[in-house]
């Protein structure tokens, strides 16, 4: 039922619309028109006022056609891309892979998912496929820290299960778990002095930071938990003992309590180093998004696996170390998994996707809609 040429041509159209994160206005307008032309009710929320991005999130609703009783579903993708994403020129190779011309990203993350969802609507309507209510949430600002989804008001949502189309891996694979992420900022206050005349009167914030970091458990903590120092700011002239530095870090774990334990361990390392040297330290942490962890037996996972099986796809489940909008929707109370789309080398100029995988992604979401049917009215 999926129209291969149509969905691939739509993908090629979408990736040529400039939409680097923060600059989503043009793509939001294009998608709004496409959804409305298909008869959907479309709302753009007011999240742009909070995020400062070029557009809000789009919530498009396809009402059930009365031909079946079915659980209400939510499908989600994001409309923005990373840089360099301006002036994308997609090329389909003889090997079936779609790439950019090498000067930009491709934008299959996540416009392959968007194209698959629009094709889903086309096929449902052309073939009068029985379905319940379906919501399509296309977020802005995913690539800048899930900002659009984080600003989304749950009042807009009405679904029993959710499916994000925004994971790497072969189509048919299902991400069932992803971590909580905490953003951490550390400040260390020392005391300045002349580095050549009286260094003993100073307290080097850089030295204290080095000792604190050395005492922290970083990198791979265990199979579920990681932590990293990403940025170090401070210092100036070499003849001055540095009195201030700031560190930017993160901690992640699929088990939320382990994030709290990691933060506490990092704080202990900071406090002990500051005490040893007579410095003062401050540490602030913020949970950016919550973890989710679905078992194989949960209905949302079973629904995705059933659809994959019908298409002869693996239905393999896996855990991810990265976050996505799926984390947010789970946090908003809608059990959501993240479906693999098939793209590779995302966030680089070597990004690519097989044309056939865009078709497979559309087939998979169509099977999910069919599998969600509870019964057919007599």
303 with 282, same domain: the answer is no
Where does a domain end: 289, 315, 338?
289
Range of the domain at 159: 4-178+291-375
Sign of CA dihedral 227, 230, 234, 238: positive
Which CATH number fits the domain that encloses residue 70?
A: 3.40.630.10
282 with 307, same domain: the answer is no
Cα dihedral 370, 371, 372, 374 in deg (nearest 10):
100
144 with 220, same domain: the answer is no
Count other Cβ atoms within 10 Å, centred on residue 155.
Answer: 7
101 catalytically annotated: no
173 with 81, same domain: the answer is yes
65 with 149, same domain: the answer is yes
pLDDT value of residue 374? 76
| C-alpha span between 181 and 15 (Å, rounded) | 29
Give 226's pLDDT tier (boundaries 50, 70, 90).
Answer: very high
Where does a domain end: 289, 304, 332?
289
157 with 37, same domain: the answer is yes
Q: Which of 44, 45, 80, 110 is catalytic?
A: 80
284 with 148, same domain: the answer is no
Look over the chain and give the mean of its residue pLDDT values, rounded to a whole number.
Answer: 97
pLDDT value of residue 377? 45
91 with 129, same domain: the answer is yes
Task: Tell the residue number behind the tokens 């709004």, with chain if given.
Answer: 32
For 177, list phi and psi in degrees, rounded to 5.
-150, 140
63 with 159, same domain: the answer is yes
CA 276 to chain centre: 41
281 with 339, same domain: the answer is no
Does this model's pTM top 0.85? My answer is yes
pLDDT in tens, 273-310: 999 999 999 999 999 999 999 999 999 999 999 999 99
166 catalytically annotated: no
331 with 262, same domain: the answer is no
172 with 319, same domain: the answer is yes
Q: Which of 20, 24, 45, 142 is catalytic?
A: 142
Which CATH number fits the domain that encloses residue 263?
A: 3.30.70.360
Task: Tell the residue number behind the tokens 């693996």, with chain if given.
Answer: 314
Looking at the 3D structure of the chain, how many domains does it have? 2
pLDDT in tens, 47-71: 999 999 999 999 999 999 988 899 9
Where does a domain end: 289, 312, 333?
289
């Amino acid at each position: 039922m999926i129209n291969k040429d149509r969905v691939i041509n739509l993908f090629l159209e979408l990736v040529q619309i400039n939409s680097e994160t923060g600059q989503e206005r043009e793509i939001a307008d294009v998608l709004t028109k496409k959804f409305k032309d298909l008869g959907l009710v479309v709302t753009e929320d007011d999240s742009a006022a909070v995020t400062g991005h070029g557009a809000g999130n789009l919530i498009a609703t396809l009402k059930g056609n009365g031909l079946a009783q079915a659980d209400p579903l939510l499908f989600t993708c994001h409309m923005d891309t990373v840089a360099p994403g301006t002036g994308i020129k997609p090329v389909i190779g003889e090997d079936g892979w779609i790439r950019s011309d090498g000067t930009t990203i491709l934008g299959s993350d996540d416009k392959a998912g968007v194209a698959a969802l629009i094709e889903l609507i086309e096929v449902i309507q052309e073939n009068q496929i029985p379905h319940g209510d379906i919501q399509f949430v296309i977020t802005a600002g995913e690539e800048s820290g899930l900002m659009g989804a984080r600003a989304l008001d749950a009042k807009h949502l009405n679904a029993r299960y959710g499916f994000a189309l925004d994971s790497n891996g072969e189509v048919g694979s299902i991400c069932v778990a992803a971590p909580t992420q905490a953003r951490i900022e550390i400040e260390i206050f020392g005391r300045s002095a002349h580095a050549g005349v009286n260094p003993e009167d100073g307290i080097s914030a850089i030295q204290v930071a080095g000792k604190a970091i050395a005492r922290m458990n970083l990198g791979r903590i265990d199979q579920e938990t990681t932590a990293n120092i990403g940025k170090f700011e401070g210092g100036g002239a070499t003849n001055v003992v540095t009195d201030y530095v700031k560190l930017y870090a993160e901690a992640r774990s699929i088990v939320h309590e382990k994030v709290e334990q990691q933060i506490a361990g990092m704080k202990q390392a900071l406090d002990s180093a500051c005490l040893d040297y007579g410095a003062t330290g401050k540490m602030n942490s913020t949970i950016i998004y919550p973890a989710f962890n679905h078992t194989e037996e949960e209905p949302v996972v079973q629904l995705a696996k059933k659809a994959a099986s019908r298409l002869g796809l693996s239905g393999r489940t896996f855990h991810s170390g990265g976050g996505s909008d799926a984390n947010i929707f789970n946090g908003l109370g809608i059990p959501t998994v993240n479906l693999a789309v098939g793209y590779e080398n995302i966030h680089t100029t070597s990004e690519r996707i097989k044309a056939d995988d865009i078709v497979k992604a559309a087939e998979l979401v169509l099977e999910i809609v069919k599998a969600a049917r509870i019964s057919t009215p007599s």
